[in-house]
Amino acid sequence: MRVSPLRQRLLGNVVSRTVLSAWAWLLLGVLLILWVPLVFVVWAVTVPFDKGRYWPGWLFRKVCVVHQVLNPLWSFRTSGEKVSDPRRPYMVVANHESFVDMLLLSHLPWEMKWLSKEDFFKYPMVGWLMRMAGDIKLVRGNRESIVSAMKGMRDRLGKRVSVMVFPEGTRTLDGAMGEFKDGAFRIAIEAKVPILPLAVVGTREALNKGDWRMNVTRAEVRVLEPISTSEYTKHDVAKLRDLTRERIVTAVAEMKAGGKA
Reported confidence tier of residue 261, pLDDT bands at 50, 70, 90: very low
Quote the pLDDT of residue 211.
82
Question: 115: which residues sit within 8 A by CB, 6+ positions away?
Answer: 135, 136, 138, 149, 152, 153, 163, 164, 165, 166, 184
Q: What is the pTM of this model?
A: 0.90
In this prediction, residues 120-136 reach a mean pLDDT of 96
* All domains in the chain, ordered by first residue: 5-258 (3.40.1130)
Residue 142: per-residue pLDDT:
86
Do the bridges between strand 217-223 and strand 195-201 make them parallel or antiparallel, or are there none, so unpaired? antiparallel
pLDDT of residue 18: 86
Choose between 136 and 173: higher pLDDT: 136
pLDDT at 111 over 50: yes
Q: Give the pLDDT score at 107.
A: 97
Residue 237 has pLDDT above 80, yes or no: yes
47 vs 45: CA distance, rounded Å: 6
